[in-house]
Amino acid sequence: MTTTPRNPHSPLFLPKSSFLLFSMASLLSLSLLSFFLFLCLSSAARHQHKPPPTTSPSVIVQNACKATRFPEQCQSSLTKLPPDPTPVQILQSALSVSSENLKTAQSMVKSILDSSVSSINRTTACKVCVEVLRLSDYRIGLANNALPSGRNKDARAWMSAALLYQYDCWSALKYANDTRQVGEAMAFLDSLTRISSNALSMIASYDVTGKDIASWRPPLTERDGFWEGSGSGSGSLAFRGGFPAKVKPDVTVCKDGGNGCYKTVQEAVNAAPDNAGDKKFVIYIKEGVYEETVRVPLEKRNVVFYGDGMGKTVITGSAQADQPGMTTYLSATVAVLGDGFMAKALTIQNTAGPVAHQAVALRSDSDFSVYEECEFVGNQDTLYAHSLRQFYKSCRILGNVDFIFGNSASIFQDCQILVRPRQVKLESGENNAVTAQGRTDPAQTTGFVFMNCLINGTKEYMDLYHSKPQKHKNYLGRPWKEYSRTVFINSFLEELISPTGWLPWGGNFALKTLYYGEYANTGPGSDLSQRVPWSSKVPAEHVSAYSVQNFIQGDAWIPSSLISSLDLS
């Protein structure tokens, strides 16, 4: 066995005293090195800039979604947000989710339409859906573009309409729900309306409460004691505006079609430029009765109808909802989609008759629309003030059942609202409601406001009424939808208005959520002592919430002139 000789210079073989000195030196070196590293790290830590504290996106989303009616669906849908999103980024993300889901709904409707050749009901419902979903997509886009520039009121109005149009599609399919495809589409649309409702609620809260997301809250209504924009100096009720002072025709319509005239109103509308700027395209419609259906499409903005007077220039039709392939929406004699529409000095009527049920004279979906000295004649559903912001001045509206209806934000100023007979047998009685406002969501900026109007009956109806007043009952309105809102201010209510004032739709539906208000009305039908308990007297300090300025922002788009004339030079 061989052994390795010991190396006397190896530390392993140092004497014990030398080994001890070596170990102490090593420990001292390690301690000094550790202390130096500690000083370096401490210095670096002192000079390092810590990132500012951030709020978790989930916390921000939770706070934002507290402003909605469906917070769980809101939180699950807002998944594509940047770190520390701004309020506008949150709102635009919500609109993007609505828009993406809308495209899926459009695809589902197209599939139903393609497979429904043999079904008139389904085909008709889908055609309505195709149009209203296109309108919804357009309004969502406008709302999205308005938010970064601070046009919050516009964004709310446009998103209110977008939500309405989605609901309209669901409602149309409800009457053609005879296949699995239709049922699935309706279920998807129900989810879509919740998503859009959430987006609208957040936009409303942002507009009302500001940028502090933690302060956002669900939408409130007058029934909660909330009036938006009211208070001293916040909008005079004495607004005086209407048609432009002087307008010059671009084209003319006359019965014989001679001397360069168009023979039909529709031909003149077709001649208007698409997607024009702010310039009005004025169509002078000479005296005569024009039997036709008129459509002003979305692309035809700022179209003006100017007639020779109520009862002189008359556009007339007779379509009604009971006809095959027809709906209330489609039955309108005149239907307007293009924004900025104006009409003056003419009559639009539907002559389907009182036994025909829903038969619309005018359907208006035109934002910033003005109707002055116009007459609308029908029976049930005469005026379909369907969506967006509308102003009616010195107009005359005749009908009987729900003859002013829809889900627009409309103000009627200095108008005559007249009930017509609807009995086949004149001795039989009836219940008539002047209005059926259709707000479906508390965040929608919609409702009907009547200022300085006369609520009465035609001479023929009043003769009938006086023969048996107890049988002929008339009401200011009834709630077509859950958050129906209608207000009468400084108006004259004649004796035909029932002492109870308002009519339920059925049972207790909407009685806890509607808002029906009256303020400073006069006349034999204005006594509030016997009104139904679910109607209200508008507090004086809040009546300015319904001014033209506050309710439809009309001071920004309604011409301020008091007298208008047609320049034929």
Catalytic residues: 381, 402
Helix 87-114 to helix 120-146 angle (10° resolution) is 160
State phi, psi for 261 to the nearest 5 degrees.
Answer: -80, 150
For residue 522, the 8-state DSSP code is: B
User: What residues contact 353, with CB distance under 8 A and at least 6 apart?
Assistant: 359, 379
* 209 burial type by CB count under 10 A (0-12 exposed, 13-18 middle, 19+ buried): middle
Instruction: Please give the sequence-ordered ranges of beta strands (E in DSSP) within 307-441, or none if there are none.
Output: 313-317, 334-336, 342-350, 362-364, 369-377, 383-385, 389-393, 396-399, 404-406, 409-413, 416-419, 430-437
Q: Decide if 124 contacts 161 (C-beta within 8 A).
A: no
DSSP string, 419-466: E----SSTTS-EEEEEEEE---STT---EEEEES-EEEE-HHHHHHHH
Beta-bridge partner residues of 9:
none
**Residue whose structure tokens are 């200011």:** 476
Tokens representing 474 are 């008339």
Does residue 358 come out as left (phi exceeding 0), alpha (psi in the -120 to 50 range) or beta?
Answer: beta
> Quick one: CA dihedral 328, 331, 334, 337, positive or negative?
positive
Tokens representing 314 are 């008359």
Widest pairwise Cα distance in the chain: 142
DSSP string, 38-88: HHHHHHHHHH--PPPP---HHHHHHHHHTTSS-HHHHHHH-----SS--HH
CA 449 to chain centre: 15
User: What residues contact 1, with CB distance under 8 A and at least 6 apart?
Assistant: none
Cα radius of gyration rounded to whole Å, the chain: 33
